[in-house]
Amino acid sequence: MLQWTLKLLTSLVWALCTIVGLTVVFFVAGFLLSSIPVNSSFAQSADENAIEIFVTSNGVHTDLVIPVVTPYIDWRSKIPLHHFENVDSTYAYVSFGWGDRRFYMQTPEWSDITPEVAITAALWPTRTAMHVEYIQSALASTRRQIPVRISPEQYQKLIKYIDSSFQENEGNYMHIQDSGYTFKDTFYEARGKFCILKNCNSWVNSGLKSMGVKAALWAPFPYAIMRHLR
Q: Name residues of the chain where pLDDT drops below 50.
A: 15, 18-19, 22
- What's the confidence (pLDDT) of residue 22? 47
Q: Give the pTM.
A: 0.85
At 116 the pLDDT is: 58
How much is the pLDDT for 107? 64
Predicted pLDDT of residue 67: 98
pLDDT of 126: 87
The secondary structure of the chain as a DSSP string is: -HHHHHHHHHHHHHHHHHHHHHHHHHHHHHHHHHTSEESTT------TT-EEEEEEE-SS-EEEEEESEETTEEGGGTS-GGGSSS--TT--EEEEEEEEHHHHHH-SSGGG--HHHHHHHHHS-B-EEEEEEEESSPPPPBTTEEEEEE-HHHHHHHHHHHHTTB-EETTEE-EETT--SSTTEEEEEBSS-BBTTB-HHHHHHHHHHHTT--EESS-SSHHHHHHHH-
